[in-house]
Structure 1
Amino acid sequence: MSLIAAKELSLTRHISLFAGLSLSIAKGDRLGLVAANGRGKSSLLRVLAGEEEATDGTVTRSRGLVVAVAPQDPPERLLSFSFHDAVRDALAPEVAETEGWRVDVLLDDLAVDEAMRGRAVRSLSGGWQRTMLLARAAVVEPDLLLLDEPTNHLDIGRIGVLERFLAGLPRDCAVVAASHDRVFLDDVTNRTLFLRPEASEDVPLAYSRAAQVLAERDAARDRQFENDMRKVKALRQQAAKLKNIGINSGSDLLVVKTRQLSERADKLEERARPAHQERSAGAIRLTNSGSHAKALVTLEDAAITTPDGRLLFRTGRLWIEKGDRIALLGANGTGKTRLVERVRAALAGADPQIRGAASLELGHSDQSLSQLDAFPTPWDAVKRSGALADHQARAQLAAAGIGIDAQPAPVARLSGGQRARLAMLLLRLSRPNFYLLDEPTNHLDIEGQEMLEGELVEHGAACLLVSHDRAFVQAVATRIWVISGKRLIEADDPAPVFDALMAG
């Protein structure tokens, strides 16, 4: 039975986000929603929820349908609420009065401990705010649950909790998840909607297999388009020859035949459509300035501690060599970011336990992209980070998906995806030979993730990275370091490590 049906939906803002979209969602559906940043995923969720009007088309909902949305960010009015009260607020007052226990049961299911439940929403990390928003949506027991980037800012353990929670929902509850997390989409969905400005594609498979099917369809469309255009060219050439013969001979029959051939060519050209080409949200390019040193970084059994001096783990004696791409894995709170911060500080000054080669040039990006806070505008960031002429700076920013109008505007106005691409651009301009990357795929769409993967692999860049993105780690890492039992150990394969972290 269809819970909601959209027919010929179109949505236009400053550009057309999508048009002619028809979609039906039935009980129990698990639909992944995929598109580049800024292409209308969040807007479509709001349209389906009735929070926003489409430019054209209709949305029909079944009688009594309960729809709930877990957005990316909490509304301002909830920031002063406690975690628990923000979830309770989603219930109607009379329901909260008689069935407030539902909040506690739900937070138990989401593995939210008692101390966390009393904390103000504004003090929560991005991951815990995501969990609160999911709980607000789920506590109303919806028929249709709409999730907007639910894994962003979650560590591996919290992603495992989320996946188990979704698997435990009532069978009739339908879920639509807009996400750039490829493995998450593979784990929790069985349909994929590729949202496009025209001719969006609904494929009845999880993301990875659906993407392969879509690539084959697009390739077939390209072949058909090329074949059609060859026919158009041949028809027009034939028509031109007959026209010349007809003019010279005065034959009315040849004139008619020429017109018929031209009309056939026009109709065929009008019907011919090339395969969809995604408008890039901006290129990601990195560089590797090289180094003659074999060991770029040496760790001499460094003690990694909390700010108050409590030991988290010891590194043992380890080296990071040219071309090593090391993924650092471990449960939340075990000290991954503390190690990255310690290495960064050590490379900037003296540290007897962590040393960098004399030729090492560091490029660093943290998960909050705090390095951008030093710059008032994207233009200022690029001009101060590289010796570029004005026209070169404009071109570099535009290539990174930051248009002319946004270049002199405050950095704070950029979208998450634009901020991430600006951070990668600044890294490239600094010409490092060693990267420290903490959650570099946060805010990047799938296209951006794949670009970053390709750049790191192609340039043989050495890096130490922290990431919850399982597909990214599998594609990039040549070595795996795992924090386990207050020690840093090396693993051969990230898959069993991810499995253990997901299981909690």
Structure 2
Amino acid sequence: MSLVTLNSLGVTLGAPLFQKLDLTISPGDRLAIVAANGRGKSTLLNILAGKLEPGEGAITRARSLTLSYMEQDPPPHLMNLSLREAVAEALAPDIRDYESWRAEIVLDEIGVPEALRDRPMQHQSGGWQRLAMIARLALADADLMLLDEPTNHLDLAKIVLLERWLNALPAGKAVVIASHDRAFLDRVTGRTLFLRLQESRLYALPYSQARRALEEEDLARGRKFDKDMKMVDQLRRQAAKLNNIAVNSGSDLLTVKTKQLKERAERIESEAEAAHRERSAGLVALGGAEAQARVLIRIAPFEERLPDGSLLFRSGPLFVCRGDRIVLLGENGAGKSRLMERLQRAIAAEGAADPAIQPTPSLKPGYMDQALAMLKTARTPLGALAARIPLGEQRARSLLAGAGIAIEKQEKPLDRLSGGQRARLALLMLRLTEANFLLLDEPTNHLDIEGQEALSQELAEEGRAAFVVSHDRAFVRAAANRFWLISGRKLTEVEGPDAFFDSLGA
């Protein structure tokens, strides 16, 4: 018995997103949806949820199907509710008054502090908002759960908690997840749909294995296509030679043979399948000059304390050199954000100089925070660039198009952009600072896998220096060459991230 069946589904929103999609979702499925930013993942989830109708094809749902949907952003009607009320609202109205205790149990299980439960959702951090939406899923207890970028804004401990919850669901529950978190998908899904314009590909494998299978299939198709095109060229050359002979000799037989060769070439050419080439959603090169000094930042021993005077962590002497890509590890609340902010202030020389942090005078920082604060004062993508640096309109539009923001969206409100497009806009603005030292707080939030891999590759370029906070395990392993850890109220350097990941069960 299937829960949902898609037959030859197609969607066009301004431009075609996908066509002729066939898919069956059955009880117990754990399905990952993978595609570049803006290529239809959220659109497909909205169709599955019944919020959007496809332009082509048909969708069939089981008559008794119950469904819950966690979108990327909390619904607006929840934002004025307290976190506690927002979670309890997922209960059916007829049982909400006398079964609200179920919401409290879920909030306890996911570790929401009592002090935060009565704070309005609009004043919660992105992480707590995300956990509230996950708690709503748990209460809904639906047959089919749809999750759109569920790990965004979560620290690694909470991602592991989400993984355990998903893996402990009853065998009959079906889950569909759109995510760019490769490690997360490997741990919670067993089927992978690569959403493509012409021919989407489905594998009964978790993400990493499915991607290898997809790449091998694309390579095989590419080799066959090249072979077919060589055959087409040879047939047409033979046809041209025969045609010349036929004209000179007046042979009807050769004329017929020429026609047959041309028809065969046309048939092979029309049936040949070119290897798939993923259309880039827009890659942003960070640019920037290499810092000239060998040691960029010297850090003397210091203590970081909370406003009440209690110790958050203490640090021994540390340093940052040219070419260092340092990832800061630690559980939520350990002090990662405070250290990031302290480094930023010290480098920018905001207020009194920090006696513990001594940056080299040639250091030019570029900062990207997970809330993308650099975008908050701008109304449009074009306005965001104009506020950052004087550019001619043609140059600005070209840069935005290269970052995956189409001309028709460049003067629309920023909230019309997808999360991935906003992240790419922030990276573009970071590029325009021409920084030689990058401070990146959760830079992969909303970035598609292609963008994450491009960013990690660029950070790994010789001479690039960066200080990064990230909970994306695949990105951390690929991008960093040094690791600092805040644990047990101490900031120390460690050999790698795996011991920390293991301590969280990741």
TM class by shorter chain equals over 0.9
Letter matched to residue 36 of structure 2: A
TM-score between the two structures when normalised by the length of structure 2? 0.95
Letter matched to residue 253 of structure 1: L
Shift of 1:193: 0.5
CA deviations 1:83-142 (Å, max 9, x no partner) are 222222222222324544332333333333333332222122112211222222231211
Cross-structure match for 1:372: 375
Q: Does residue 486 of structure 1 match 2:495?
A: no
Paired residue secondary structure (2:4): strand
Assess if the C-alpha contact under 8 Å between 1:303 and 1:314 holds in 2. Answer: yes
Cross-structure match for 1:133: 133
TM-score between the two structures when normalised by the length of structure 1? 0.95
Worse overlay, 483-492 or 88-97: 88-97
CA–CA distance in 2 between the matches of 1:308 and 1:241? 91
RMSD, aligned CA: 1.9
Cross-structure match for 1:159: 159
Paired residue secondary structure (2:446): coil
Worse overlay, 368-377 or 329-338: 368-377
Q: Does residue 399 of structure 1 match 2:395?
A: no
Alignment of structure 1 residues 45-64 onto 2, 5 Å: 45-64=45-64
Q: Does residue 354 of structure 1 match 2:320?
A: no
Paired residue secondary structure (1:162): helix
Assess if the C-alpha contact under 8 Å between 2:348 and 2:365 holds in 1. Answer: no
Assess if the C-alpha contact under 8 Å between 1:156 and 1:502 holds in 2. Answer: no
Shift of 1:416: 1.9
Q: Does residue 15 of structure 1 match 2:37?
A: no
Paired residue secondary structure (2:81): coil
CA–CA distance in 2 between the matches of 1:173 and 1:297? 51
Cross-structure match for 1:423: 426
Alpha-carbon distance change, 15 to 309 in structure 1, aligned in 2, over 3 angstroms: farther
Shift of 1:207: 0.8
Assess if the C-alpha contact under 8 Å between 1:68 and 1:138 holds in 2. Answer: no
Cross-structure match for 1:228: 228
Shift of 1:303: 2.6
Assess if the C-alpha contact under 8 Å between 1:161 and 1:502 holds in 2. Answer: no
Shift of 1:145: 0.9
Letter matched to residue 397 of structure 1: L
Assess if the C-alpha contact under 8 Å between 1:191 and 1:207 holds in 2. Answer: yes
CA–CA distance in 2 between the matches of 1:199 and 1:405? 27
Paired residue secondary structure (2:408): coil
CA–CA distance in 1 between the matches of 2:87 and 2:435? 45
Paired residue secondary structure (2:103): helix
Cross-structure match for 1:198: 198
Letter matched to residue 326 of structure 1: I
Assess if the C-alpha contact under 8 Å between 1:305 and 1:338 holds in 2. Answer: no
Shift of 1:79: 1.2
CA–CA distance in 2 between the matches of 1:261 and 1:51? 52
Paired residue secondary structure (2:476): helix
Letter matched to residue 226 of structure 1: D
Worse overlay, 278-287 or 150-159: 278-287
Worse overlay, 180-189 or 238-247: 238-247
Alignment of structure 1 residues 151-190 onto 2, 5 Å: 151-190=151-190
Cross-structure match for 2:33: 33
CA–CA distance in 1 between the matches of 2:28 and 2:112? 26
CA deviations 1:384-420 (Å, max 9, x no partner) are 5457555433322221112223334444443321221
Cross-structure match for 2:297: 297
Cross-structure match for 1:208: 208
Worse overlay, 248-257 or 175-184: 248-257
Letter matched to residue 334 of structure 1: A
Shift of 1:200: 0.4
Worse overlay, 442-451 or 414-423: 414-423
CA–CA distance in 1 between the matches of 2:302 and 2:409? 43
Shift of 1:52: 1.6
Letter matched to residue 242 of structure 1: L
Cross-structure match for 1:252: 252
Cross-structure match for 2:447: 444
CA–CA distance in 2 between the matches of 1:96 and 1:430? 52
Letter matched to residue 214 of structure 1: L
Alignment of structure 1 residues 258-297 onto 2, 5 Å: 258-297=258-297
Alpha-carbon distance change, 3 to 412 in structure 1, aligned in 2, over 3 angstroms: closer
Shift of 1:383: 4.8
Shift of 1:426: 2.2
Letter matched to residue 365 of structure 2: L
Alpha-carbon distance change, 87 to 390 in structure 1, aligned in 2, over 3 angstroms: closer
CA–CA distance in 1 between the matches of 2:426 and 2:93? 45
Query: Percent identity of the aligned residues?
Result: 53
What are structure 1's unaligned runs of at least 5 residues? Answer: none
Assess if the C-alpha contact under 8 Å between 1:363 and 1:432 holds in 2. Answer: yes
Assess if the C-alpha contact under 8 Å between 2:149 and 2:446 holds in 1. Answer: no
Alpha-carbon distance change, 51 to 405 in structure 1, aligned in 2, over 3 angstroms: closer
CA–CA distance in 2 between the matches of 1:384 and 1:99? 51
Paired residue secondary structure (1:266): helix
Assess if the C-alpha contact under 8 Å between 1:110 and 1:165 holds in 2. Answer: no
Worse overlay, 255-264 or 470-479: 255-264
